[in-house]
Amino acid sequence: MNPIFFPFKIIGNSLHKFIRELGKMGCFFANALFYMLFPPYLFRRIIKQINFIGVKTILVIVLTGTFTGMVLALQMYHVLIKFGAEARLGPAVALSLIKELGPVICALMVTGRAGSAITAEIGIMRISEQVDALDAMALNPYKYLIIPNILAGVISLPLLNAIFVVLGVFGGYAVGVGLMGVSSGTYFGGINDFVTARNVFEGFYKSLSFGVLITWISCYKGFYTGYGAEGVSKATTQSVVISSVVILIWDYFMTSLLVA
């Protein structure tokens, strides 16, 4: 082959591999949705995963939500005061948290804490042949491993996002009212005037979609991990990186759709 065509061969092979992987992920998710339609439903397993993904992430969400709101208020105050609009600090902080920062940062925190652990857990089960043992015992691996994680992510992410936003608003209140001298009534009155139900639902829809994406990618990478410790570590790293990038990309498309 002419050396001049080598770059095109490399690009073609990479693109072909990417498309195959994308199709494999789509089939994996379609199988999970299909098995989700039929009983049995392992409610104990679902509750256990809600506890793992949601409850055990609350401390991280409390800290990041509070300090995100505080930093946001501090930065926005110094911008708004230049335009004589410091009275709009409350709605500026609330809308930023509700529509963008809350869902995105919350999803990234869950990815780092829970998504990586889900991938590692399923990956270790795969290399130790526990997944094959489930098949041997007539237990559907999708029912036992995949579906509970997806449902737990869909339930947990909107609740965690709500906690993040509320604490972020009060963190902004502590800085705006306590340090910068903005009136308490002005801060919350502006939020009441400018924040609508549509804004809240935008953040809710994003959280739902992020919950699906995180658990889908994490479970997929664990389910099809390579063998050995190196395979699990590689799958875990890929899970976190891909989930984080997909969250940011999907956030753009969701914002474009919701704004339109």
260 residues of the chain, pLDDT tens digit each: 567 767 777 887 778 888 888 888 889 999 999 988 888 888 899 999 999 999 999 999 999 999 999 999 999 888 888 888 778 888 899 999 999 999 999 999 999 999 999 999 999 888 888 877 877 787 788 888 899 999 999 999 999 999 999 999 999 999 988 888 888 888 888 888 888 889 999 999 999 999 999 999 999 999 888 777 788 889 999 999 999 999 999 999 999 988 76
Residue-level pLDDT at 20:
87
Closest CA to 75 of 50, 93, 62: 93
pLDDT of amino acid 5 = 66
> Tell me, what amino acid is at 2?
N
Let me know the angle formed at the C-alpha of 115 by 114 and 119, rounded to the nearest 5 degrees: 115
Distance CA 194, CA 151 (A): 33
- Compute the distance between CA of residue 255 and CA of residue 258 in angstroms, rounded to an integer: 5
**Can you give the pLDDT at residue 208?**
94
Calculate ∠ Cα 58-61-67, nearest 5°.
Answer: 140
Q: Is 90 exposed, middle or buried (0-12, 13-18, 19+ CB in 10 A)?
A: buried
Cβ burial of 127 (10 Å; 0-12, 13-18, 19+) is middle
* pLDDT of amino acid 247: 95
Whole-structure pTM value: 0.89
pLDDT for the residue numbered 140: 83
